[in-house]
Structure 1
C-alpha cells in the first residue's frame, strides 16, 4: 500500500457562535487526540476522539481520526466498523472517499479481498484521480487472481479427502453388512444342525 494513514490536523478556529464554548471543547478533544496520535499513543488517543464525537456526532474529522487510531492499534474489525460509520454519516465527499480508501486498506489487511476491491472502486467513483486507490485496487485484483487457483486446488483436495473418507465409510459399512450376513448364515446353519440332531434322536413311536 502506498498511501499511509494520516490524521486531520485542525487549523486555528475563530468561532463566533452561541455554541462556541462547546465547539472549543470539541476541538480541544481532537487536538488532544492528535497530540497522542502523533506520539503513537493510539490507545490513549481513542477516548479523546470519542469525546469529540459525543459532543458532536457529526464531527467528521473526529470520526476519521478515530477510525485511523483504531487501525493503528491493530483492532482491524473495530477500525472497519469506524470507517463504515464515517462513510455513512459524512456528507463531505472528500471524507467519504478517504473512508472508502482506508476501509479498503483495512479489509485488505484482513485478507477480505473481494470486499476491499469494492471499497477501492467506491473510492475511485468519488475521486477518479486517486492513483493510490487505483494502485491498491489493481494489487488486490492481482492477489485475488493468485488466490483463486489456490482456493480451487484446496477445494479439490478437500473433495478428494471427503471422497476417500466416504469410500472408507462405504467399505466399513460393506464389511459390517457382510459380517452380518455371515452371522445370519451361521445362525441358520446352527438351527438346521439342531433340527437334524433332534430328528435323529427322536424315539420311534410305539404302536
Structure 2
C-alpha cells in the first residue's frame, strides 16, 4: 500500500514535465507564426517566454536569434546564436547557428570573426555551398582590408597625419590671407562660402545615394543569407 503514493508522485512529476515541454513548444510555434507574419517584436517575446519555460531549448535560442537579427539587434542575436551553437548536438542545426553569426559579422565588416564562424559552420555541414561562398568572399575582403590599411590603429594614425596636414595648410592659408589688401579680402571669402555650399550639397546627395544602396544591399543580403528557423 505504501508504494501507491510514491507512484502517484512520480506520475504527477512526469505529467508536470510533459506539460512544461508542451508549453515551450507551443510558445515556439506561436513565435514562428508571428515571425512568418514579420511581426518580429512579438515573435521575440514568444521565444523569450519559451526559454523562460525551458532555458535549454536550443530551438527557442536559435529562433530568438533570428527575430533579433530581423530587428537589427545584431549583438543580442549573436549571443543567442552562440548559445544555440554551443548547446545544440545536431551538426546541421549547429551549422545554421554559426552561419548566421558569420552573416552578421560580415555585414559589419568584421571579416576575421565571420571567417571563424563560417569555418565552424562548415565543420558541422561541409556541403553548405552558401557558407562556403561566404567564407571565400570574406577571405578576399579581409585580404583587401589589410592591404588598404585594415582599419583600427592604422586608420587612426592616418587620420592624425591628415589632421596635421590640414592644420598646417590652414595656417598657411590664413597667413597668406592676412597679407592681402583689405580690398581683396571680401572676394576670397565669398568664393570660399560658395564653394563650401556646393561641396556640402554634393556630399549630402552622394551620402543619400550611398545610404540607399547600402540599405537595399543589406535587405537583399539578409533575405538571401539568413538561415531560417528550425
Gaps of 5+ in 1: 1-15, 169-207
Superposed counterparts of 1:79-90, under 5 Å: 79-90=77-88
2:130 is matched with 132
Q: SS at 1:128's partner residue?
A: coil
1:150 is matched with 148
Superposed counterparts of 1:152-191, under 5 Å: 154=155, 157-158=158-159, 160-161=161-162
Asked which structure has the greater CA Rg, the reply is 1
Gaps of 5+ in 2: 1-13, 170-230
Tell me if 1:141 matches 2:142. no
Q: Is the 8 A contact 1:76 1:110 kept in 2?
A: no
Q: SS at 1:119's partner residue?
A: helix
CA deviation string 1:158-197 (max 9, x = no partner): 46447759x99xxxxxxxxxxxxxxxxxxxxxxxxxxxxx
Q: Tell me which of 25, 37, 43 is aligned to 2:35.
A: 37
When the two chains are superposed, the root-mean-square deviation of aligned CA atoms in Å is: 2.6
2:99 is matched with 101
Q: SS at 1:87's partner residue?
A: helix
Q: Tell me which of 44, 50, 69 is aligned to 2:67.
A: 69
Superposed counterparts of 1:43-62, under 5 Å: 43-62=41-60
CA deviation string 1:94-113 (max 9, x = no partner): 22111111110011112111
More helix by share: 2
Q: Is the 8 A contact 1:60 1:95 kept in 2?
A: no
Q: Report how many aligned residue pairs link the two structures.
A: 153
How far apart, CA to CA, are the structure 1 residues paired with 2:99 and 2:17?
33
> After the TM superposition, which parts of structure 1 deviate over 4 Å for at least 4 consecutive aligned residues?
152-156, 162-165
1:175 is matched with none
Structure 1 length-normalised TM: 0.66
By relative contact order (CA 8 Å, sep 6+), the higher-ranking structure is: 2
Q: Is the 8 A contact 1:26 1:55 kept in 2?
A: yes
